[in-house]
């Protein structure tokens, strides 16, 4: 597998079967890391594994439900024992349940928080406990620009992402004494399957509405005039887990083309 077990950097990426998570895993693998990919979508994970191995990268597949703390703890133990010490965790896994507050079900709310907030807590707690004695590591959580800007029918998603953002900042404060950095990247509209869930008509018209804004939803457009690509987010993640950002922690980098006007 290239580097020895003691020398290679091991990274966990959740939500790696598609979208931003898949691209993050690809970029970390290209950088030379051993990537442990987590997702509930086994087929998507094994497709990614095949692609990365064909490119000569080191990868291991873990069909993990991050809502299950026992499962999370068991897999993290396995990685530490069989692959090597975890130096990087990227929390990407997320779900979107839309609806006005009056129409959201209990299940909508609970599952949104279970993945977007509690899953981040379970993974970050488990991994950081192992990083602390080694006094090194980097954790990045993928948030959302919706965490800081109200959105129509986004109350569950925006609230869960806001919780994950503040959790990661608090974690970064606690772990700074151990030389462990924790940061957030917050995408806006990005070309993923999740974005397409919001598109109710033809694709080009939907893209135009994202870029130009929707006045009836009190939503501004994107000043840069384009929708982000997953690689835009992945490259920022790669920077934040690298030595080039060795003095950056507790920061939230918004990658939305200016849609939230820098707020």
pLDDT tens-place string over residues 190-244? 988 776 666 566 556 666 677 888 888 778 899 999 999 999 999 999 999 999 9
Active-site residue 122, yes or no?
Answer: no
Q: For tokens 């992945």, name the residue.
A: 234
Give me the residue spans of the domains in the chain.
Answer: 10-193+229-255
* Contact partners, residue 170, CB within 8 Å, separation at least 6: none
Task: Tell me what pLDDT residue 202 has.
Answer: 57
Confidence of residue 1 (pLDDT cuts 50, 70, 90): very low
Catalytic residue among 46, 122, 157, 218: 157
| CA 96 – CA 158 distance, rounded (Å) | 9
Write out the two tokens for 48: 């990614």
Domain range 10-193+229-255, CATH architecture: 3-Layer(aba) Sandwich (3.40)
pLDDT tens-place string over residues 47-94? 999 999 999 999 999 999 999 999 999 999 999 999 999 999 999 999
Cα–chain center distance at 119? 11
Cα–chain center distance at 7? 25
Q: Which of 35, 37, 76, 70 is nearest to 56 (CA)?
A: 35
Task: Tell me what pLDDT residue 2 has.
Answer: 42
Contact 159, 175 (CB under 8 A): no
Task: Tell me what pLDDT residue 203 has.
Answer: 59
């Amino acid at each position: 597998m290239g580097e020895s077990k003691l020398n290679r950097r091991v990274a966990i990426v959740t939500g790696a079967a598609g979208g931003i998570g898949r691209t993050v895993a690809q970029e970390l693998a290209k950088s030379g890391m051993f990537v442990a990919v987590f997702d509930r979508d086994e087929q998507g994970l094994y497709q990614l594994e095949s692609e990365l191995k064909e490119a000569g990268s080191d990868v291991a597949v873990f069909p993990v439900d991050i809502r299950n703390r026992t499962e999370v703890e068991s897999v993290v133990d396995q990685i530490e024992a069989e692959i090597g010490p975890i130096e990087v965790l990227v929390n990407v896994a997320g779900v979107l349940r839309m609806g006005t507050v009056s129409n959201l079900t209990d299940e909508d709310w609970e599952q949104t928080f279970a993945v977007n907030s509690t899953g981040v807590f379970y993974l970050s707690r488990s991994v950081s406990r192992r990083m602390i004695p080694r006094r090194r590591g980097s954790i990045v959580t993928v948030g959302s620009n919706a965490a800081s800007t109200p959105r129509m029918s986004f109350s569950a998603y925006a609230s869960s992402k806001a919780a994950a953002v503040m959790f990661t900042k608090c974690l970064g404060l606690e772990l700074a004494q151990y030389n462990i950095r924790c940061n957030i990247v917050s995408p806006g509209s990005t070309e993923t399957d999740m974005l397409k869930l919001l598109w109710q008509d033809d694709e080009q018209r939907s893209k135009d509405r994202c870029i130009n804004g929707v006045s009836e939803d009190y939503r501004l457009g994107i000043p840069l005039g384009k929708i982000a690509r997953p690689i835009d987010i992945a490259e920022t993640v790669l920077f934040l887990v690298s030595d080039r950002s060795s003095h950056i922690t507790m920061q939230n980098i918004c990658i939305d083309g200016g849609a939230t006007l820098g707020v």
